[in-house]
Amino acid sequence: MMPFSELVLASHNAGKLKELQAMLGDAVRVRSVAEFSTVEPEETGLSFVENAILKARNAARLSGLPALADDSGLAVDALGGAPGIYSARYADGQGDAANNAKLLDVLREVPDAERGAQFVCALALVRHADDPLPIICEGLWHGRILHAARGEHGFGYDPLFWVPECDCSSAELPAAQKNQLSHRARAMALLKQRLGI
């Protein structure tokens, strides 16, 4: 794939933009799709990959730039993979705190041994809106769901996600460490390999 100096990230999430720019370093300038439109496309896919491709094509169409989309979320074993692709809208779009509260409530009676979960990230990169060969890279980060929030960093479900190898929640990790371990970091490492950067 041809190298490029900038791309548009198909997200209005400032946390994601900051994380992905840090992971890509100075090799590529990452711009937010918010510079081109405030309207988010409807995520009609039934999987992380389908939604990532849909968002990438939309961002490329709006910006005229190569586009990278990240569709990610939390898949909880005891909930059959929920909230999954609906992670950001789990509590009817009321935000991170409401999503976390709902998850804790739903898992209230679930013992530690059955609280396994993984963060999932699907990255889709398209060179242009009609790219017939999007690059897809996926990353998983295994952990379990805590009984109460811990930590001040990160966003989303980070305060509830226990990282066994670090003996802390994702929200207790410094950003630089999270950016080496997370589902997004794993998917991005594969993408950088594919792009040769």
The structural domains of the chain, with segments of one domain joined by +, span 6-195
Q: Three-class SS of residue 120?
A: strand
- Give the pLDDT score at 4: 81
> From start to end of the chain, where are the E strands?
6-9, 29-32, 67-76, 116-126, 135-145, 161-163, 168-169
Confidence band for 91, pLDDT divided at 50, 70 and 90: very high
For range 91-115, the mean pLDDT:
96
Query: Do residues 43 and 11 make contact, with C-beta atoms less than 8 angstroms apart?
Result: no
Q: Is 86 annotated as a binding residue?
A: no
- Listed range (3-12, 19-28, 149-158) with the worst mean pLDDT: 19-28
Do you know the residue count of the chain?
197
Residue 111 has a CB neighbour count (10 Å cut-off) of 8
Q: Is 153 annotated as a binding residue?
A: no
Instruction: Give the Cα separation of 57 and 175 in Å (integer).
Output: 29
Q: Is 128 annotated as a binding residue?
A: no
- Give the pLDDT score at 134: 97
- Give the pLDDT score at 136: 98
Q: What is the pTM of this model?
A: 0.90
pLDDT digits (tens, 9 = 90+) for 178-193: 989 999 999 999 999 9
- Give the pLDDT score at 159: 97
Write down the mean pLDDT value for the chain.
93
C-alpha distances in Å from residue 24, one per residue of 18, 28, 42, 136, 187? 10, 6, 27, 16, 12
Query: Do residues 65 and 6 make contact, with C-beta atoms less than 8 angstroms apart?
Result: yes
Instruction: Give the Cα separation of 51 and 44 in Å (integer).
Output: 7
Catalogue the active-site residues: 71
- Give the pLDDT score at 1: 47
For range 165-176, the mean pLDDT:
94
User: Is residue 2 pLDDT above 80, yes or no?
Assistant: no
Q: Is 157 annotated as a binding residue?
A: yes
- Give the pLDDT score at 3: 67
- Give the pLDDT score at 40: 83
Task: Name the phi and psi angles at 183, rounded to 5.
Answer: -55, -40
User: Is residue 170 pLDDT above 60, yes or no?
Assistant: yes
Query: Do residues 125 and 68 make contact, with C-beta atoms less than 8 angstroms apart?
Result: yes
- Give the pLDDT score at 27: 78
pLDDT digits (tens, 9 = 90+) for 18-48: 888 888 888 789 999 999 998 888 889 999 9
Tell me which residue has tokens 């979960």: 117
Which residue type, as a one-letter code, is found at position 191? L
CATH 1.10.1270.20 is right for the domain spanning 6-195: no
- Which residue, 15, 18, 21, is CA-closest to 7? 21
For range 3-16, the mean pLDDT:
86
Q: In the chain, which residue ranges form alpha helices assigned H by DSSP?
A: 14-24, 48-63, 96-106, 175-181, 183-195
- Give the pLDDT score at 73: 96
Query: Do residues 35 and 9 make contact, with C-beta atoms less than 8 angstroms apart?
Result: no
